[in-house]
A and B are shown apart, each in its own frame.
Chain A
C-alpha cells in the first residue's frame, strides 16, 4: 500500500515542469532555495512550495542543520544517473587536459615526426 501511495505522490510531483527543472538542478548538486530561485526565474516562496511537494514525495531531502537548508536529490535511479554524468564529466575533463598537452607537444615536435606530416610528399 505504502508503495502505491508513494508512486502516485512521485508521479504527481513530477507532473509539474518547474518541479522537473528543480530535480534537474539537484541532479547536478545539492542546492538551497536561494540557489534554486536564480535559474528558475520564479519567486522564492514558489520554489519553497515546490520543494515541499518534492519532499513529501520523498524525491528530495533537506538538511536540518544551519540557517541554509540545502535540498538533495534522493530517488535512487535519479541519483545514479547524476553520479554517472558526474563521473564522465570528470573523465572528459582529465582526458581533454591531456589532449591539450599532447597537441602542444606534437606541434612543437614539428612535421619531422613522420606520422604528423600533412603533405604526403614529405614522406618520400
Chain B
C-alpha cells in the first residue's frame, strides 16, 4: 500500500521561505486564509491541530454559495518532519455535495528549498480505496449498465430488420 504510485502529483514553487510555507499548512490561522476555492471558509472554533507524528489536523469547511454543505476534514498524521514533511490519511465526511459519499484519501506534502529563498511544494494524493480498486460490486454495476446498453442496441437492430422484412 505504502509504495503504491499516487494518482495525483502536483508540484509548485512559491516565492516564500520554506518555514513560512510549512506554517501555512500547520498554523490554523494561516490554513483558514487560503484552504479551498474562493468562498470557502473554515470556522475558527472548529479548527483543531496537533501537528506531530501520530497527531491530527481537524477542521470544517463551509461555503456561502452552498449553505447546505458542511464538510468535516480529519487528517490523521502518520509522518511529520518539522518544516519538511506532512503525511497522513484525510477523512472527508459531513454534508457533502450530492453524489459524493464520505471517503478517505492518503496525502503527502513535501516542502523543499529552491534557489533565491523560494520553496517547492510537492503534493501527492492517492485515490480512495473504492475508486482505486473498484469492488466486484462496482464492476458488476458498470457491466449491468453496459449490458442494458448492448441489449438496447440489439433490440433496435432487430426492430430495424423487422421493418425491412415488412417493407420487402
Q: Are A81 and B132 neighbours in the complex by a CB distance under 8 Å?
A: yes
Q: Report the separation of the CA atoms of residues A56 and B105 in the bound assembly, to the nearest whole angstrom.
A: 33
**Quick check: A81 and B14 within 8 Å, CB to CB?**
no
Rounded to whole Å, the gap between the CB of A79 and the closest CB of chain B is 9
A58→B150 CA distance, assembly (Å): 9
Does B82 interact with chain A (Cβ within 8 Å)? no
Is A15 an interface residue when CB atoms closer than 8 A count as contact?
no
Number of A-B pairs, beta carbon distance below 8 Å? 97
Does B127 lie within 8 Å of A58, measured CB to CB? Answer: no
Would you call A77 and B134 a contact (CB within 8 A)?
yes
Main SS class of interface, B: helix
B8 at the interface (CB under 8 A from A): yes
A-contact 0/1 string along B138-156, CB 8 Å cutoff:
1111111111011100000
Q: Which A residue sits closest to B137, measured CB to CB?
A: A77
Number of residues from B at the complex interface, CB < 8 A: 42
Instruction: State the CA gap A103–B138 with chains docked (Å).
Output: 43
Residues of chain A within 8 A (CB-CB) of B37 are 90-91, 94-95, 98
- Chain A residues lying within 8 Å of B16, measured Cβ to Cβ, are 103-104, 106-107
Do residues B20 and A116 form an inter-chain contact, with CB atoms below 8 A? Answer: yes
Interface residues on chain A, number (Cβ under 8 Å) = 35
Quick one: CB contact mask for A39-72 with B, threshold 8 Å, 1 for yes? 0000000000000000000100000000000000
B contact residues vs A (CB 8 Å cutoff): 7-8, 10, 12, 14-16, 19-21, 24, 27, 29-30, 33-38, 105, 121, 123, 125, 127-128, 131-132, 134, 138-147, 149-151
Ordered by A's residue number, 19 sampled pairs between the chains whose C-beta atoms are within 8 Å are A3-B144, A6-B143, A76-B142, A77-B131, A78-B134, A81-B131, A81-B132, A81-B134, A91-B36, A91-B37, A92-B8, A96-B121, A98-B35, A99-B14, A102-B24, A102-B34, A104-B15, A106-B20, A106-B30
Interface residues of A (CB under 8 A from B): 2-3, 6-7, 10, 58, 74-78, 80-81, 84-85, 88-92, 94-96, 98-104, 106-107, 115-116, 118
